[in-house]
């Protein structure tokens, strides 16, 4: 990339277009100070970094900008923006450059996930609402039959008048139905009045990653209308998933979607239920002082709710494993590093770059010495597990609900896929 640049008359079509769409992006204001680049885990991938990428846009090198796959390695995690003295919104620039790619040339994995979600009116893996309903009811029935403590357990889909509406990552019903159960148990324990939505129940939104505004909006709007008009729930709870949370949180604002319900993360509820004594968890079980750390999803923390939800997450973790057994990563909370699984990267074809990106997260996790990483996010979960294997780590990656049910002593035999051998049999 050292070929000479002929400038004379600047033609910055791409810049102009983005500045019209996002007037607050301050693209021109760049001081070329490098704070973004020093904080970005995608720095160096495809010989680019946030500063260079923006510079190319400012110098009008539109053709080169449009060609680089770097925009699919950048996870739009906003860590660059948080340090920028000029509030230059590079993530929005990346998003809009993604959007400028011909749709058919955007990464197939992301595109198909988006398309399935729209066509199935349910989720990114294409499971239809009726299949989802069947699966949920079938698994719930099995729990009632095999686990006497939960003989009254209920899991509804599309129940009108429920107070809370919860979405579900499509991995649940499609590939690992037993992973849905721990969260049901938690909801049962606290006596929640809840339901899944009947349509657009999938806790994901790959149309957002595809930079497909129309379909991103369609998913969120359909869900919002369904909740308000068909179900009448007071609260929409996002399950353990960062990008799904952000797609709804930001989508409601970005597309001006009217809604009557309140939108919250399940992490906030975990913390609330523990504080209220409804979820009587403790760390007594952790007699071997197993060390835990946690990854707060960028989408949930830095990009949406900020440090308060990061504090909730830590409160939950410490309640579950004991203050002394919780080891934080540094930096953390709103200044956390993205794991590299965001932005649709797991569905994009740049695995080498994604894993190199994830090396920072891997090193951070290894530095904690923790045996377990608990993550309230499916993308983080998949990425952190993958980089562990790729970079030769030895930690285990689990969801929060697994840990909660473990602490409550109610984690079933089939609900332990992600636990290590030390806990695989624990409490059975």
Instruction: Give the footprint of other proteins on this chain (CB under 8 A).
Output: 1-10, 12, 26, 28-39, 43-44, 49, 51-52, 55-56, 58-59, 79, 82-87, 307, 330-331, 333-335
Return phi, psi of residue 293, to 5°: -130, 175
Of residues 38 and 119, the one with the C-beta less far from other proteins: 38
We find the least distance from the C-beta atom of residue 356 to other proteins, in angstroms, to be 12
86/424 with CB nearer other proteins: 86
Residues in the chain: 428
- Smallest CA-to-CA distance from 412 within 400, 421, 424, 420 is with 424
Q: Give the nearer residue to other proteins in terms of CB position, either 44 or 409.
A: 44
On the 0-12 / 13-18 / 19+ scale of CB atoms within 10 A, 151 is: exposed
Distance between CA atoms of 65 and 348, rounded to whole angstroms? 18
| Cβ 75 vs Cβ 345: under 8 Å | yes
- Of the candidates 42, 110, 100, the one whose C-alpha atom is nearest the C-alpha of residue 298 is 42
Tokens read off for 117: 């979600």
Choose between 94 and 127: whose C-beta lies nearer to other proteins. Answer: 94
In contact, 419 and 410? CB cutoff 8 Å: no
- Nearer Cβ to other proteins, position 11 or 275? 11
CA 138, CA 15: separation in Å to the nearest integer? 52
CB of 60 to other proteins, least distance (A): 9
**Distance between CA atoms of 115 and 289, rounded to whole angstroms?**
46
Nearer to other proteins, 71 or 231 (CB): 71
Of the two residues 74 and 252, which places its CB atom closer to other proteins in the complex?
Answer: 74
Beta carbon nearer to other proteins, 83 or 112: 83
We find the least distance from the C-beta atom of residue 412 to other proteins, in angstroms, to be 40
Helix (H) or strand (E) holding 235: strand 235-238
Q: Apex CA 181: angle with CA 287 and CA 190, to 5°? A: 75
Extract the tokens encoding 259: 């809604």
Spatial neighbors of 16 by CB under 8 A, at least 6 apart, are none
Nearer to other proteins, 39 or 202 (CB): 39
| Torsion angle in degrees (nearest 10) through CA of 285, 173, 126, 374 | 0
258 Cβ contact partners less than 8 Å away, ≥ 6 residues apart: 224
Give which of 225, 218, 123, 113 is closest to 174, Cα–Cα.
Answer: 123
């Amino acid at each position: 990339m050292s070929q000479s640049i002929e400038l004379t008359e600047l033609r910055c079509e791409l810049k102009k277009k983005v500045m019209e769409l996002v007037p607050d992006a301050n693209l021109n204001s760049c001081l070329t100070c490098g704070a973004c680049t020093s904080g970005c885990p995608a720095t160096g991938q495809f010989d680019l970094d946030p500063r260079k990428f923006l510079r190319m846009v400012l110098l009008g090198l539109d053709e080169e900008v449009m060609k680089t796959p770097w925009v699919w390695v950048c996870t739009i995690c906003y860590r660059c923006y948080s340090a920028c003295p000029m509030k230059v919104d590079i993530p929005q620039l990346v998003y809009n450059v993604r959007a400028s790619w011909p749709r058919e040339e955007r990464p197939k994995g992301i595109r198909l996930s988006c398309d399935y979600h729209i066509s199935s009116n349910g989720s990114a893996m294409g499971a239809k609402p009726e299949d989802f309903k069947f699966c949920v009811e079938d698994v719930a029935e099995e729990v009632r039959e095999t686990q006497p403590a939960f003989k009254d357990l209920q899991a509804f889909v599309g129940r009108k008048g429920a107070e809370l509406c919860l979405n579900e990552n499509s991995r649940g019903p499609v590939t690992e139905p037993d992973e849905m159960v721990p969260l049901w148990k938690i909801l049962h324990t606290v006596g929640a009045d809840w339901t899944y939505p009947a349509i657009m129940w999938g806790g994901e939104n790959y149309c957002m990653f595809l930079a497909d505004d129309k379909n991103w909006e369609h998913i969120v709007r359909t869900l919002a209308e369904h909740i308000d008009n068909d179900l009448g729930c007071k609260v929409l709870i996002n399950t353990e998933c960062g990008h799904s949370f952000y797609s709804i949180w930001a989508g409601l604002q970005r597309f001006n979607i009217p809604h009557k319900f309140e939108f919250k993360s399940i992490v906030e509820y975990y913390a609330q239920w523990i504080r209220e004594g409804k979820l009587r968890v403790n760390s007594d079980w952790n007699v071997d002082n197993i060390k835990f750390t946690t990854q707060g999803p960028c989408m949930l923390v830095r990009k949406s709710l900020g440090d308060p939800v990061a504090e909730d997450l830590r409160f939950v973790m410490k309640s579950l494993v004991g203050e002394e057994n919780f080891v934080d990563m540094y930096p953390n909370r709103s200044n956390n590093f993205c794991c590299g699984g965001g932005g649709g990267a797991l569905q994009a074809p740049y695995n080498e770059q994604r894993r190199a990106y994830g090396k920072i997260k891997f090193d951070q996790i290894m530095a904690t010495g923790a045996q377990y990483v608990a993550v309230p996010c499916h993308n983080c979960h998949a990425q952190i597990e993958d980089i562990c294997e790729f970079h030769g780590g030895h930690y285990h990656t689990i969801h929060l609900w697994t840990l909660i049910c473990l602490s409550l002593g109610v984690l079933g035999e089939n609900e332990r896929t992600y636990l290590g051998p030390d806990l695989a049999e624990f409490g059975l």
